[in-house]
Structure 1
Amino acid sequence: MFFVLPLRPGGAAAVTVKEAEHASSRVVDEQAERVGTRIRELRRSRGLTLVQLAGRTDLSHPFLSQLERGHARPSMVSLDRIAKALGTTQVELIAAGAPGLPDAEAGRADVLRAGEGARNQFPHGEVRLLTRGRRAFDPIEWTGTSSEFGDYFRHPEDEFVHVVGGALLLDLEKDGTVRLDVGDSVYYPGGTAHRWCSPDGSRFHLVVVKQKPLENA
């Protein structure tokens, strides 16, 4: 279900109802503000206006404006669209929401406690990065309760998914849909269309390990 926000002349774009409901007239928190600032920096460095970014992402201009000011949080699908349009990744945008490691500690072991790590909260779930700073791969903790499939994700990096809790319906488009339960895992190569949801609306808990883009490794 989509909610279309009014736009200035130049076309319509949609955001989900939940995203519209989670937009506000004030900063959500410091992390949302930092992510929004990073999106704005990247957009301007690419010479794009908000209207042009809206056209590339099929998201509304008002919603993107609220994101850049830290007044809203995007879903992971919306964040994926924005990242692709700006030539970056979801993970890098989420990581912008938290300070990285000091340079002096970049080459040392780093313990991340349960309450730490950059995260993105969105309707029906949350994503948390399980490392800080620049690493060879991106391990991610993903929880959610949505029982409806969203748009497909498709990225050039390989990805590994392990189910820690609950159950998951994984739709691999051409390869069909498979149910994954606790202890199950799947690995798929870059370019594979994929999306997932809960079979019954109960909470699923995943560890997702994503290959680092070659240019950023």
Structure 2
Amino acid sequence: MTKDLQQDSQRIAFGRRIRRLRSEQNWTLSDLSERSGLAISTISKAERGIIALTYDRLSQLAKGLGVDMSAFFTDTGVGFEPGSFAVARKGEFERQETQNYVYEMLFTDLWNKSMRPMMGTLKARELYQFEDFVRHPGQEFLFVLDGEVTVYLDGRDAVKLRQGDSIYFDSTIGHLYASNGDDDARILVVCESLNAGRGVTPEP
């Protein structure tokens, strides 16, 4: 399967999960739009596999549906219990690719986490390549694994990071990440999950 076909297949499968979760609530697109704050057209395009949603829109959609974000990537999961632990081996992640980012979502089978860890690849090079800043409730940590990264913060000076550098910030501030070099940069990102412990109960 070519890369383009793989991306199409991932978006279509992702869209089917969104549609199923909405249908289980007996909601129309308008109902979900009202609850999530996302435009009807955005939800419709995501359900049909036309577009892939960025992290902030995924977060809005999960909140609107009352589910853990992991429900978009896997049908079943287990809730994280106090005193427990989980291990993710190399290559164990769920991929979500947008125009500017590739998200590698870790521990998607572990629901109701206090944190959402993910690896990422930055494809974008310039600020103009983005439609708008990303913003969502909580706090965020970024660590540069490879390459050089510019972190754009709405209303603030851009922050340049090199391999081994990191940043921690309030993610309600509009923010964007871009690669500084000719090659894609690799990052580790951890976002606070304010909805931990809420939403659907994962199946055993």
Q: Does the pair score TM above 0.5?
A: yes
CA–CA separation in structure 2 for the residues paired with 1:27 and 1:50 = 27
- 1:167–1:181 Cα contact (<8 Å) kept: yes
Asked if 1:207 corresponds to 2:183, the answer is: no
1:93-140: CA deviation from partner (whole Å, max 9, x where unpaired): 465223544579997432212222222023344111222312221111
Selected match of 2:106 from 130, 138, 161: 130
Selected match of 1:187 from 168, 173, 187: 168
How far residue 46 of structure 1 moved from its aligned partner, in angstroms, is 7.8
Asked if 1:36 corresponds to 2:15, the answer is: yes
RMSD: 3.8
Unaligned runs of 5+ in 2: 199-204
Selected match of 2:145 from 164, 188, 192: 164
How far residue 203 of structure 1 moved from its aligned partner, in angstroms, is 0.9
TM-score (norm 2): 0.71
Residue 110 of structure 2 aligns to a residue in which SS?
Answer: coil
- 1:165–1:205 Cα contact (<8 Å) kept: yes
CA–CA separation in structure 1 for the residues paired with 2:163 and 2:14 = 32
Which 4+ stretches in 1 moved above 6 angstroms? 103-107
Selected match of 1:81 from 43, 46, 57: 57
Q: Which residue of 2 aligns with 1:49?
A: 29
Count of paired positions: 187
Residue 60 of structure 2 aligns to a residue in which SS?
Answer: helix
CA–CA separation in structure 1 for the residues paired with 2:85 and 2:118 = 18
TM-score (norm 1): 0.67
Residue 150 of structure 2 aligns to a residue in which SS?
Answer: strand
Of all paired residues, the percent bearing the same amino acid is: 24
- 1:35–1:93 Cα contact (<8 Å) kept: no
Which residue identity is paired with 2:126?
E
Aligned residue runs from structure 1 range 106-117, under 5 A: 108-117=84-93
How far residue 165 of structure 1 moved from its aligned partner, in angstroms, is 0.6
CA–CA separation in structure 2 for the residues paired with 1:143 and 1:207 = 9
How far residue 81 of structure 1 moved from its aligned partner, in angstroms, is 3.1
How far residue 186 of structure 1 moved from its aligned partner, in angstroms, is 0.6
Which residue identity is paired with 1:176?
D
- Higher relative contact order by CA 8 Å / sep ≥ 6: 1 or 2? 2
